[in-house]
Structure 1
């Protein structure tokens, strides 16, 4: 497959909207077949799921799964070649870019829940996680109850942002919530001392911790909040495309290939620092591999 860097997302949105106004809407498989191109949405700092390594190459657990799906689509459509356009997405724009056709498939660290399922479709789940806090070892923070009157970072447009707002409202805990545009920016602000903690999915926090020069200065704390599943996003009401994606992911999971990919990113040294997250696969993830499902948890 040929890798192609794509246009900036805002230009893609304009082009896609203009094209939709002039031409009949094709199914995703028809579009891929006619253009021999697939647009894959990726994250820039969702370590170790989808992120830039030291050479600005997109790597990660979700990225490996997505590329394997793209290869399955190429074989399904009997294409001699399939060009892959990589489109960077954020928590805020990932759903609109899938909806307007700029992105055919997005596999990163996107939570599948019922609210989002009203806007886009989701594949079978590829991961399961819960939100926790990342903080300095000497911060004195051990859980949400220690955050009263203090500044806490979240990434805008994430379920963690909403969870913290709802927790604050329901418990009366007064927290100064600061929203960053992406996980990398949030962690940079945390490191600079602009907040005492960063609330995000546990796996992502361990990934960010592994990128630092001194991982031992940071720890993940607090009781896990609501458990969620990650899945790949695609446009609604495109059953043929979803069927191909689900078949490919199910095959990867049940063949043991997904577990090999997991071990590459969670139990082996990863770029850019060569650090190891040393995180064995949770039992719930192994259960998911054995019996893939596209049902959300919330």
Structure 2
């Protein structure tokens, strides 16, 4: 049941950036007082009826995150895995300068990048400075530096997983750098850079919960972010699963802390950022599926040619791979996943015959 908490269990929450514990409220699924509940008061003690004391009785139920959607059955026919393309192939960097590749962006004087503002370690607000920081933010600044010679000439816009493709299609942003997995299905709507990170889907659960593998989620409640590929694996592998889809991964963190879900599933790179905020959570089970991240770019059209921008981004990716910048970014933000696996090698599309 969503929206409740179990009697006697500590509910962990974030207040002012710090972890706190509060006793959970009574719910219908709590422990029966006749079977291991609180001890009876001594016979000579004085009790106060809450009604006599003027204290209103309320059902304290934690609300679900805004925009949350609960699914208890497979949402229609699951799409077959699309292997109709080589999803990782992208345009090769050329020798042109930014004025030739991206003249409109150079003229504007800033690069507009859509990202998440609540994805710890990838893109989040530093509580000390209020500035956006993280692995994806560093990558955006590297791209801006190669275009303008100044990493600060970048404007960030907050996007959810569900609206990031729409933002590219409507030209609200130049790039989306938001843990976006490269798939053939998505390539029907947007263009991708070469991969800049290889993530793997995993499961996150409360320590000691008994959840250690994907099969342990049978009959459980699991949180995912709307617009991601994370739920598809659950529907394919499990017969009974309740999925809570929310707008951000921060919402999933709150949901598991309030005992509204039993687990979270998404890419390990995102999960390690969540575990950094709550020591009672742990990543469990094997790697479920590879999730290569790419920079999202609008598809090229006669009126809006984005080929130059793709080459510009891939030029930056080639540089940070070669000069060690990527490894330094990994060590700064993602070392919790272990030693650096190295940046994924690029695959380039064949150039048209001249």
Contact 1:50 1:58 (C-alpha < 8 Å) held by counterparts: yes
Cα 1:174/1:229, change in 2 over 3 Å: same
Match in the other structure for 2:242: 176
Work out the CA distance in 2 between the residues paired with 1:129 and 1:82: 27
Whether the aligned pair in 2 keeps the contact of 1:126 and 1:231 (CA below 8 Å) is yes
Q: Which one has the largest radius of gyration? A: 2
Q: Is contact 2:269-2:337 (8 Å) kept? A: no
Contact 1:38 1:82 in 2 (8 A): no
Conserved 8 A contact 1:132-1:220:
yes
- Could you list the per-position Cα deviations for residues 121-177 of structure 1 after superposition, in whole angstroms to 9, with x for gaps in the alignment? 111111111111111112111112112221111111111122223333xxxx21011
Single out whichever of 217-226 and 93-102 deviates more from structure 2: 217-226
The alignment's TM-score, normalised by the length of structure 1, stands at 0.77
CA–CA separation in structure 2 for the residues paired with 1:159 and 1:292: 23
In the other structure, the counterpart of 2:347 is 293
Residue 96 (1) aligns with residue 162 (2) = no
Q: How does 1:110-129 map to 2 (within 5 A)?
A: 110-129=180-199
Tell me the TM-score normalised to structure 2 length. Answer: 0.65
- Segments of structure 1 that go 5 or more residues without pairing to the other structure are 1-26, 268-276
Distance across 2 between alignment mates of 1:163 and 1:91: 17
**Aligned counterparts, 1:182-201, within 5 A:** 182-201=248-267
2:216 counterpart residue number:
146
- 1:280 aligned counterpart, secondary structure: coil
What SS does the aligned partner of 1:165 have? helix
Instruction: Provide the aligned length of Structure 1 versus Structure 2.
Output: 244
- CA offset digits 1:241-288 (Å, max 9, x no partner): 111110111111111111111111123xxxxxxxxx262112xxx262
Task: Map residues 7-18 of structure 1 onto 2, 5 A cutoff.
Answer: none
Partner deviation per Cα, 1:228-248 (whole Å, 9 max, x = no partner)? 100111111211111111011
| 2:340 aligned with 1:266 | no
Q: Which runs of 5+ in 2 are unaligned?
A: 1-99, 301-305, 350-354
Find the counterpart in structure 2 of residue 273 from structure 1.
none
In structure 2, how many angstroms separate the alpha carbons of the residues matched to 1:154 and 1:241? 31
The structure carrying a bigger helix percent of its residues is 1
Alignment root-mean-square deviation, CA: 2.1
* 4+ long deviations beyond 3 Å: 80-83
In structure 2, C-alpha distance between the alignment counterparts of 1:253 and 1:28, rounded to whole Å: 21
| CA-CA distance at 1:61 after TM superposition | 1.0
What is the 5 A alignment of 1:208-247? 208-212=274-278, 215=279, 217-237=280-300, 238-247=306-315
Flag the 1:141–1:294 CA change in 2: closer, same or farther, 3 A: farther
Match of 2:107 in 1: 34
- What is the DSSP-based 3-state SS (H/G/I as helix, E as strand, rest coil) of the residue aligned with 1:211? coil
Q: Distance in 2 between matches of 1:64 and 1:123?
A: 16
Partner Cα distance (2:309, 2:333) in 1: 27
Partner of 2:116: 43
Indicate the SS of the match to 2:276. helix
Instruction: Return closer, same or farther for 1:196/1:28 CA change in 2, 3 Å cut-off.
Output: farther
Q: Quick check: 1:59 aligned with 2:133?
A: yes
